[in-house]
C-alpha cells in the first residue's frame, strides 16, 4: 500500500537529535572542577529541557515500523537482513572508529605492541568510547522482536473492535493509562529497588540488572505508544492538539520539580544521574514533552516556515549525525579541556552545541553522497529516472519507495540510534 510521508515525524526526530546533542555537550562541561555554581544551575535547567530526546527516538522507531506494517506482515528474514545492514553495520563501523580514535591519542597504544582487541569486542556489546552507541544495541532488540510486538498489537486491536461497552477511543485510552501505570511501576523498581537487587543476585542476573538501560524492557512503553500513533494518525494529531495546554502545564510543573530534585540531591557537584531516564518522575516529564512538541508540530501543519524546513532537513540526516556527534565533542574537548573557563561554562557549552550540530550534520550529509553510505550513515542513494533520491533509515524506520512519497511531503529521515 502507498503510504504518505508524515512530515511531523521527521521534524520531531530533528528535535530529538538536537536534545541529545545538547545533553552530551552539557555532560562534557558540567562536571569540570572549575565550573561555578551559576553555570551549573543554568546547565541543569537546560538539561531538563532535553530529557525527551532518546525516548522519542524509541517512540519514532515504533511509529515507523507499525506504520509501514499495519496491513502487511513482514518477511522476517528479509526484514532482519535489511535492518542489519541499515542500522547494525553502521554501528559496528562507528564502534571501531571510536575505539581507534581514542587509542591513537593514547601513548600506551603505540608502546604496547599488539592492540588489545578484546576491548574492541567489548565495545560491540558495552560501548564505552562511543558512549552514545548503546542506543543502537537497545533499539535493535525491537527489530528482532518486532513480529511478536506486531502480533500482540494486532490481537489487541481486533479485540478492541469487538468491544461494545466502550468506544474504540475509550478502550485505547484505558489501555494507554494501564500501560503507563505498569511502566511507572517498572521505573520505580529500576530507580529505587534494582540497585539493591544487583548486589544480592548471582551472575548473570546481577549483570543484566546492572546494564538494564541496554535492554528493550526498560523502553517498551514508548515503542508500543508508537503503534497507537501509527495506526490512528489523524486521531493522534487531534488528541495531541486538544491536550496541548494541559501538557504545557504538566511540563512546567515537572520541570520545576526535577530541577529542585537534582539541586537538592547534589553536593558541590551537580549529579545529573538523579534525572535518569529510568525514574518515574523523569518518565512523566518525558511524556509531557513528547505530547507537547507533537502538539506544537501539529499546529504548524500546512505551513512552510524556514524553521520547519530546517527541522525536516536535520531529521533526514540525524542518524548519521547521531553516530558522529560524540566524535565531534571529543575533538572540541581536546581544545577546551586544557583551558580554565570559570564563569564561561554556559556560553562555551552553547557554542560547543552549535559547532557539534553543524559539524555532525555536515559530515552525515557528506557521507550520504559517497558510495557505501548505507553502511556509514544508514542512508542509501537510489537513482530514479530523471531525478535522484535519498532513502533514509532511522532507528525504527523502513525504507519506502518513491511511490510512497506524496508531492507535498518532504523526504523523511534520521539514533539507529537510536
* Other residues' Cβ atoms within 10 Å of the Cβ of residue 289: 26
pTM of the model: 0.88
**What pLDDT is recorded for position 398?**
37
pLDDT of residue 206: 87
What distance lies between CA 174 and its chain's CA centroid?
26
Residue 219: per-residue pLDDT:
97
Task: State how far the Cα of 318 lies from the Cα of 313, in Å rounded to an integer.
Answer: 8
Query: Which residues have C-beta within 8 Å of that of residue 390, sequence separation ≥ 6?
Result: 316, 368, 379, 380, 381, 382, 411, 413
Please give the grid coordinates belonging to residue 281: 518522575
Q: Hunting for cell 524492557 — which residue is that?
A: 217
Q: What is the reported pLDDT for 112? A: 64
Confidence (pLDDT) at 68: 87
Positive/negative CA dihedral, 51, 23, 26, 92: positive
- Between the CA of residue 245 and those of 175, 290, 293, 374, 387, what are the distances in Å? 23, 13, 11, 41, 43
**Per-residue 3-state assignment (H helix, E strand, C coil) for the chain:** CCCCCCHHHHHHHHHHHHHHHHHHHHHHHCCCCCCCHHHHHHHHHHHCCCCCHHHHHHHHHHHHHHHHCCCCCCCHHHHHHHHHHHHHHHHHHHHHHHHHHHHHCCHHHHHCCCCCHHHHHHHCCCCCCCHHHHHHHHHHHHHHHHHHHHHHHHHHHHHHHHCCCCCHHHHHHHHHHHHHHHHHHHHHHHHHHHHHHHHHCCCCHHHHHHCHHHCHHHCHHHHHHHHHHHHCHHHHHHHHHHCHHHHHHHHHHHHHHHHHHHHHHCCCCCCHHHHCCCCHHHHHHHHHHHHHHHHHHHHCCCCCCHHHHHHHHHHHCHHHHHHHHHHHHHHHHHHHCCCCCCCCHHHHHHHHHHHHHHHHHHHHHHHHCCCCCHHHHCEEEEEECCEEEEEECCCCCCCCCHHHCCCCCCCCCCCCCC
Residue 358: Cβ within 10 Å count: 12
The reported pLDDT for the residue numbered 400 is 37
The predicted pLDDT at position 14 comes to 96
Query: Rounded CA gap, 301 and 218, in Å?
Result: 32
CA neighbor of 50 nearest in space, from 249, 215, 277, 224: 277
In this prediction, the residues of the chain whose per-residue pLDDT falls under 70 are: 1-2, 107-115, 381-418
The answer to whether 52 touches 293, Cβ cutoff 8 Å, is: yes
pLDDT at 67: 92
What span, in angstroms and rounded, lies between the C-alpha atoms of 19 and 12? Answer: 11
Burial class (CB in 10 A: 0-12, 13-18, 19+), 266: middle
Separation of alpha carbons 271 and 269, rounded Å: 6
Cα separation, 222 vs 61, whole angstroms: 9
Cell of 178: 494501564
Under a CB-based contact definition with an 8 Å cutoff, are residues 291 and 240 in contact?
yes
Across 24-47, b (16+ Cβ under 10 Å) vs e yields bbbebbbebeebeeebbebbbebb
Contact 28, 363 (CB under 8 A): no
Q: Which has the closest alpha carbon to 17: 365, 323, 226?
A: 323
How far is it, in rounded angstroms, from Cα 58 to Cα 124?
A: 20
Strand partners, 392: 379
**Chain-centre distance for alpha carbon 147:** 22
Q: What is the pLDDT of residues 76-135, one digit of tens each?
A: 888 899 889 899 999 999 999 999 888 887 766 666 666 677 888 899 999 989 999 999
Amino acid at each position: 500500500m502507498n503510504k504518505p510521508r508524515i512530515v511531523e515525524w521527521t521534524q520531531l526526530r530533528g528535535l530529538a537529535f538536537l536534545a541529545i546533542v545538547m545533553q552530551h555537550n552539557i555532560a562534557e562541561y558540567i562536571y569540570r572542577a572549575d565550573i561555578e555554581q551559576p553555570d551549573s544551575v543554568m546547565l541543569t535547567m537546560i538539561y531538563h529541557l532535553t530529557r525527551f530526546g532518546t525516548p522519542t527516538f524509541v517512540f519514532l522507531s515504533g511509529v515507523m515500523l507499525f506504520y509501514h506494517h499495519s496491513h502487511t506482515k513482514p518477511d522476517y528474514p528479509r526484514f532482519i537482513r535489511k535492518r542489519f545492514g541499515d542500522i547494525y553495520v553502521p554501528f559496528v563501523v562507528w564502534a571501531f572508529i571510536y575505539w581507534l580514535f581514542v587509542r591513537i591519542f593514547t601513548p600506551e597504544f603505540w608502546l604496547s605492541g599488539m592492540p588489545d582487541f578484546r576491548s574492541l569486542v567489548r565495545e560491540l556489546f558495552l560501548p564505552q568510547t562511543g558512549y552514545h552507541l548503546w542506543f543502537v544495541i537497545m533499539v535493535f532488540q525491537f527489530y528482532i522482536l518486532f513480529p511478536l510486538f506486531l502480533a500482540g498489537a494486532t490481537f489487541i486491536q481486533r479485540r478492541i473492535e469487538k468491544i461494545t461497552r466502550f468506544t474504540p477511543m475509550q478502550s485505547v485510552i484505558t489501555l494507554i493509562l494501564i500501560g503507563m501505570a505498569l511502566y511507572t511501576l517498572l521505573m520505580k523498581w529500576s530507580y529505587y529497588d534494582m540497585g539493591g537487587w544487583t548486589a544480592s543476585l548471582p551472575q548473570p542476573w546481577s549483570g543484566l540488572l546492572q546494564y538494564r538501560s541496554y535492554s528493550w524492557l526498560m523502553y517498551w512503553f514508548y515503542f508500543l505508544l508508537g503503534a497507537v500513533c501509527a495506526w490512528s494518525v489523524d486521531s493522534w494529531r487531534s488528541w495531541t492538539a486538544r491536550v496541548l495546554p494541559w501538557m504545557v502545564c504538566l511540563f512546567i510543573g515537572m520541570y520545576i520539580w526535577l530541577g529542585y530534585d537534582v539541586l537538592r540531591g547534589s553536593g558541590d557537584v551537580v549529579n545529573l544521574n538523579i534525572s535518569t531516564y529510568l525514574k518515574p518522575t523523569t518518565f512523566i516529564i518525558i511524556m509531557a514533552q513528547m505530547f507537547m512538541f507533537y502538539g506544537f508540530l501539529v499546529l504548524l501543519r500546512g505551513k512552510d516556515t524556514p524553521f520547519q524546513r530546517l527541522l525536516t532537513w536535520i531529521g533526514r540526516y540525524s542518524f548519521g549525525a547521531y553516530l558522529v556527534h560524540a566524535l565531534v565533542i571529543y575533538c572540541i574537548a581536546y581544545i577546551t579541556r586544557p583551558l580554565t573557563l570559570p564563569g564561561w561554562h554556559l556560553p562555551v557549552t552553547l557554542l560547543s552545541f552549535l559547532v557539534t550540530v553543524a559539524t555532525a550534520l555536515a559530515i552525515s550529509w557528506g557521507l550520504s553522497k559517497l558510495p557505501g553510505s548505507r553502511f556509514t550513515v544508514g542512508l542509501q542513494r537510489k537513482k530514479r529516472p530523471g531525478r535522484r533520491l535519498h532513502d533514509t533509515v532511522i532507528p525504527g524506520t523502513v525504507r519506502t519507495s518513491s511511490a510512497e512519497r506524496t508531492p507535498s511531503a518532504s523526504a523523511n529521515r534520521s539514533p539507529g540510534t537510536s
